[in-house]
């Protein structure tokens, strides 16, 4: 067991080294996604509905660590904390309609945090907006605010994983 743990720690260190090297050299975004695959995807789920939150967690748990929150305010704090610690989220599933800070405001704040931390285009978190709304205005507003994808509820496992595969975050 000790040899396995040592090997795993060595592999994690190698992945982190390669990530920072590629980041400095501005190598292809595809390489970043390969590193995410190797290092396991870190996901934040922002959803005020408990059942929807748990469903998304169950769909994504096999691909890496999942953290979830029911509020936009807490999501912004979590993103900031992870950025400050050098361990940012790879994927954020973000509900548009939430009490308090709505998803589009959270999206704007996340992109501001990434910009303030010097995250360049192509290296930011992949953000997929989730909503029960199926109107073109919500879709246009979400894309204007720089989300990467948009899913209408109910969200099936297949629909979610197919959307994530578009961004090469999972095989």
Cis peptide bond N-terminal to 27, omega within 30? no
Tell me what pLDDT residue 21 has. 59
Report how far residue 171's alpha carbon sits from residue 169's, in angstroms, rounded to the nearest whole number: 7
Q: Does domain 41-165 have CATH number 3.40.50.2300?
A: yes
Report how far residue 115's alpha carbon sits from residue 120's, in angstroms, rounded to the nearest whole number: 7
For 125-168, write each residue's pLDDT tens digit.
Answer: 999 999 887 665 666 666 665 889 889 889 999 999 999 999 88
For 11-51, write each residue's pLDDT tens digit.
Answer: 556 666 666 655 555 555 555 555 555 558 899 999 999 99
Question: What's the whole-model pTM score?
Answer: 0.76
Tell me what pLDDT residue 1 has. 42
Half-sphere exposure of 117 (CA within 13 A, CB side): 21
Report how far residue 79's alpha carbon sits from residue 109's, in angstroms, rounded to the nearest whole number: 10
Tell me what pLDDT residue 92 has. 98
């Amino acid at each position: 067991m000790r040899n396995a743990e040592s090997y795993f720690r060595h592999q994690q260190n190698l992945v982190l080294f390669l990530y920072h090297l590629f980041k400095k050299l501005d190598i292809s975004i595809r390489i970043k996604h390969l590193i995410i695959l190797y290092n396991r995807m870190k996901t934040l789920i922002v959803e005020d509905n408990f059942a929807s939150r748990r469903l998304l967690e169950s769909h994504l748990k096999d691909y890496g660590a999942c953290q979830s929150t029911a509020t936009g305010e807490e999501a912004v704090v979590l993103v900031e904390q992870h950025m400050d610690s050098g361990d940012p989220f790879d994927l954020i599933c973000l509900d548009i309609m939430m009490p308090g800070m709505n998803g589009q405001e959270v999206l704007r704040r996340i992109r501001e945090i990434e910009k303030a931390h010097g995250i360049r285009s192509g290296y930011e978190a992949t953000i997929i907006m989730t909503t029960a709304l199926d109107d073109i205005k919500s879709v246009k507003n979400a894309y204007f605010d720089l989300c990467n994808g948009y899913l209408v509820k109910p969200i099936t496992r297949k629909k979610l994983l197919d959307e994530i595969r578009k961004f090469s975050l999972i095989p």
